[in-house]
Structure 1
Amino acid sequence: MLAAGNRLTDPEGFRAASRRGHRAGARTVVTHLLLPPGQQVVGMSGTSSSAGPTLPAARVGFVVSKAVGNAVVRNRTKRRLRHAVRERLAVLPPGSLLVVRAQPAAALASYTELVADLERCLQRVTERVVQPGEAR
């Protein structure tokens, strides 16, 4: 289970991250990462400065549609993804929104495959975000 401060639950947050966030996809998952407004264009560092305002923790939401499987399969997939993301919260910039969308292949994938795809997607969206001056 994710801590309450790390859960993305409001529909507007899901919508904003999915529409305006940086996207990376793999066979089993697609991730959308949306940074806080002050970090959208300029590169960011993983630490907050003492002079600036402190940002809230990164929040993560999950989308597992009926295309993945029945309720049992969807819930199992969501639990596995939640566990994998919880171990990787430190790589997310403070104040960011992350939406992890499961693809139908996630239902049959092993946990190690899910983790590998999630790692690859997180690495791609965070690398893309860190590069200063990159045009979107």
Structure 2
Amino acid sequence: MIYLHDGTADRSVTTSGIAAYWLAESGLSTASDERARKILEKLEQLGNWAAGEIMGRRRHNQERAESGYHDVVPRLTGPQMLVRRYLRRNPGAAPEQVAAGIEMPPATVNEVVSELRLAGILQGGRSADGLFLTESELRRYEMLD
């Protein structure tokens, strides 16, 4: 239970294992989004686990937005991520080696390789030469490491 009061202090009272939170209404915004965020912050400070999880996720998302994470990391499918990860660890591998290494059908690997080439993530692999991550993709990894 959450109660808002006109006092100045926040507190929690646990009765029979159930917590009740008494939050000071002073200083809360009248804008609903800001008010809800501030209430969650107060609940987190009083030790409410769920509010802590919500605020942790919010801070995590905010840090990602501020760092440009969503601009840096391309949106890839699971198979694309597997191929990219394999080639980061095994540069110059042939498509057949990639297929065996990640236990994916060769036809699927060939399709994924084509998609990653179009996205500017992979180069090579058209003849006897192997597959490599592009320079821009290697720089992306350096930024994230």
Common fold, TM-score beyond 0.5? no
Higher relative contact order (CA 8 A, sep 6+): 1
TM-score by length of 1: 0.26
TM-score normalised to the size of structure 2?
Answer: 0.24
The structure that is helix-richer by fraction is: 2
